[in-house]
């Protein structure tokens, strides 16, 4: 499990560590790791043209010391100093190693001719939009053909939230020190970081519990339920699905398919006659109960391990009555789509509930759960909003989108690493709801069920057509392939190197962005 800590936590750990080490030891360790990555990325070091972008403070000092190490290997290293007070000792070491400071007027020429650019403009303490000349240097870097390596995180990203308020350096590789930072995992910042390399500088023993975690395949493999010799359909989990309507019959078919392909023991579908017929046509193993429209709660199955309610269900009064009846049980319940819209009108149905509950909104639905927010605000500050929703509703919240986030009261936020734009198609959320519901019925807690389902969901999209576009139906068929990839993985971190079908984008050598 990759862990990420806030800036304040990192600062406190660094101060404690520096008090026990010789002066400058921490910076030398960070710069040494940064230089090693840069040297590895260059096809040849001797004679290579390297530009170091230098801001004020320790981030610029790391870049200067790394630049000095690269210069000692025979590279032509030039520093573009943006801050008014660059790190004095770092600058002296840089010049002593043969590095030169270029004039600001030559920035475009130097960056344009570089093979490698090291971004040391702004460190983890940066807030708000980049100012000049930092913004211009970031823009020039984006136009260059050079590989870009960011120091700790790309300049322009808020380290704690992933917010990007203006121009931002887009890195091919980010070398971060001591621990990951939340902004490296969470969009929009995560789009700019490239491959993340963690350099151990000894902070580990001084770090508390993380704010954010991101699972690797070994973590998912350890959580996924596997049937044993004593398993039967009831022990594997009985899931009830209340999804779909005459207008959205496909939502029921997709949610049921997602649950069945995730290994549910027995699936009980609840819905109108026409929808139930469609479900059985596609999934004959489903057991159906046809609702009485005059008594929507009267025929709800009782002997189930968990519920999924909402995909394509509609907002009519019978759906609201059904939702209230299901939430009155002591079973784990997953609410998606229309059920979330209905919940926004009666939040106490979940906030006062003691049984396990999982909400799976997208940004628009989350803004309904938090009436003082807009969808745009949710997208811009995803981490803050998912935490607020989990605390307000006292349950687990899975926020779908460019990076899927999972928050539960008192736990670190989970960032799913397998997300892909391939999932931006109708019906994929229905499949996710079914998959998470199956894992709830198997006995996983809402945070674990959401974490595993999101990981499987994203991986299935990558594997379905080898990176080509997929439909929601394709996604269902690829879920068993994703299971096999996870349970059969034997790599060091459980994920093969970047560029393979099962990559999570966190290791390997950076390539030029497209």
Residue 419, annotated as binding a ligand: no
Residue 352, annotated as binding a ligand: no
Residue 126, annotated as binding a ligand: yes
Residue 271, annotated as binding a ligand: no
Q: CB under 8 Å to 479, separation ≥6 — which residues?
A: 258, 261, 262, 431, 435, 456, 457, 460
Residue 165, annotated as binding a ligand: no
Residue 127, annotated as binding a ligand: yes
Residue 228, annotated as binding a ligand: no
Cβ atoms of 191 and 421 closer than 8 Å: no
Residue 316, annotated as binding a ligand: no
Cβ atoms of 369 and 391 closer than 8 Å: no
User: b/e for 306-315, b at 16 or more Cβ within 10 A?
Assistant: bbbbbbbbbe
Residue 451, annotated as binding a ligand: no
Bridging pattern class, strands 116-120 and 266-271? unpaired
Look at residues 124, 129, 116 and name the one whose alpha carbon lies nearest to residue 53: 116
Residue 145, annotated as binding a ligand: no
Residue 312, annotated as binding a ligand: yes
Please give the structure tokens belonging to residue 273. Answer: 């006659």
Residue 403, annotated as binding a ligand: yes
Residue 384, annotated as binding a ligand: no
**Phi/psi of residue 270, nearest 5 degrees:** -125, 120
Positive or negative CA dihedral for 209, 210, 211, 215? negative
Please give the structure tokens belonging to residue 278. Answer: 């469609």
Residue 351, annotated as binding a ligand: no
Residue 119, annotated as binding a ligand: yes
Residue 155, annotated as binding a ligand: yes
Q: How many CA atoms lie within 13 A of 344 on its CB side?
A: 18
Residue 28, annotated as binding a ligand: no
Residue 233, annotated as binding a ligand: no
Residue 503, annotated as binding a ligand: no
Residue 437, annotated as binding a ligand: no
Cα 119 to Cα 5, 30, 45, 154, 376: the distances in Å are: 21, 14, 18, 7, 29
Q: CB under 8 Å to 200, separation ≥6 — which residues?
A: 33, 178
Residue 125, annotated as binding a ligand: yes
Residue 474, annotated as binding a ligand: no
Residue 128, annotated as binding a ligand: yes
Residue 251, annotated as binding a ligand: yes
Residue 58, annotated as binding a ligand: yes
Look at residues 36, 55, 58 and name the one whose alpha carbon lies nearest to residue 45: 36
**What whole-number distance in Å separates Cα of residue 419 and Cα of residue 432?**
12
**What whole-number distance in Å separates Cα of residue 360 and Cα of residue 159?**
26
Annotated binding site: 58-62, 119, 123-129, 152, 155, 251, 312, 362, 400-404, 429-430
Annotated binding site for K(+): 59, 119, 155
Annotated binding site for AMP: 400-404, 429
Annotated binding site for (6S)-NADPHX: 58-62, 123-129, 152, 251, 312, 362, 430
């Amino acid at each position: 499990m990759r862990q990420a800590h806030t800036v304040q936590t990192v600062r406190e750990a660094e101060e404690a560590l520096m008090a026990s080490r010789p002066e400058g030891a921490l910076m030398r360790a960070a710069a040494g790791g940064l230089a090693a990555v840069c040297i590895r990325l260059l096809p040849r070091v001797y004679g290579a043209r390297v530009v170091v972008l230098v801001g004020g403070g320790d981030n610029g000092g790391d870049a200067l010391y790394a630049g000095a190490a690269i210069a000692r290997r025979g590279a032509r290293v030039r520093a573009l100093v943006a801050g008014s007070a660059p790190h004095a000792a770092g600058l002296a070491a840089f010049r002593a190693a043969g590095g030169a400071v270029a004039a600001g007027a030559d920035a475009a020429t130097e960056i344009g001719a570089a093979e490698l650019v090291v971004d040391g403009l702004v460190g983890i303490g940066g807030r708000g939009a980049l100012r000049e000349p930092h913004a211009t240097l970031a823009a020039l870097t984006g136009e260059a053909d050079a590989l870009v390596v960011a120091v700790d995180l790309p300049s322009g990203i808020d380290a704690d939230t992933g917010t990007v308020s203006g121009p931002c350096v887009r890195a091919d590789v980010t070398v971060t020190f001591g621990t990951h930072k939340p902004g490296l995992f969470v969009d929009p910042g995560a789009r700019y970081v490239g491959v993340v390399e963690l350099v151990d500088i000894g902070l580990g023993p001084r770090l508390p519990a993380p704010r954010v975690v991101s699972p690797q395949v070994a973590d998912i493999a350890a959580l996924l339920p596997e049937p044993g010799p004593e398993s039967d359909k009831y022990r594997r989990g009985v899931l009830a699905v209340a999804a779909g309507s005459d207008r959205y019959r496909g939502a029921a078919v997709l949610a049921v398919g997602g649950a069945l392909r995730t290994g549910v023991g027995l699936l009980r579908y609840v819905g109108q006659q026409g929808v139930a017929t469609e479900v059985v046509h596609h999934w004959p193993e489903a057991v159906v109960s046809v609702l009485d429209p005059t008594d929507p709660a009267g025929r709800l199955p009782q002997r189930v391990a968990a519920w999924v309610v909402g995909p394509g269900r509609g907002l009519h009064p019978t759906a609201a009555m059904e939702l209230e009846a299901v939430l009155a049980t002591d079973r784990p319940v997953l609410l998606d789509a229309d059920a979330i819209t209905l919940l926004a009108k009666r939040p106490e149905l979940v906030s006062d509930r003691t049984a396990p509950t999982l909400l799976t909104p997208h940004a628009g639905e989350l803004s309904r759960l938090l009436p003082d927010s807009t969808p745009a605000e949710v997208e811009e500050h995803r981490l803050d909003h998912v935490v607020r929703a989990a605390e307000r509703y006292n349950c687990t919240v899975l926020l779908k989108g460019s990076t899927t986030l999972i928050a539960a009261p008192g736990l670190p936020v989970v960032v799913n690493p397998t997300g892909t734009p391939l999932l931006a198609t109708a019906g994929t959320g229905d499949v996710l709801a079914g998959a998470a519901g199956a894992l709830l019925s198997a006995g996983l807690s809402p945070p674990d069920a959401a974490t595993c389902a999101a990981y499987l969901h994203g991986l299935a999209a990558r594997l379905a057509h080898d990176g080509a576009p997929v439909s929601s139906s394709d996604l269902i068929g690829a879920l068993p392939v994703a299971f096999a990839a996870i349970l059969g993985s034997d790599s060091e971190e459980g994920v093969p190197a970047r560029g393979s079908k099962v990559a999570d984008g966190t290791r390997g050598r950076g390539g030029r962005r497209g």
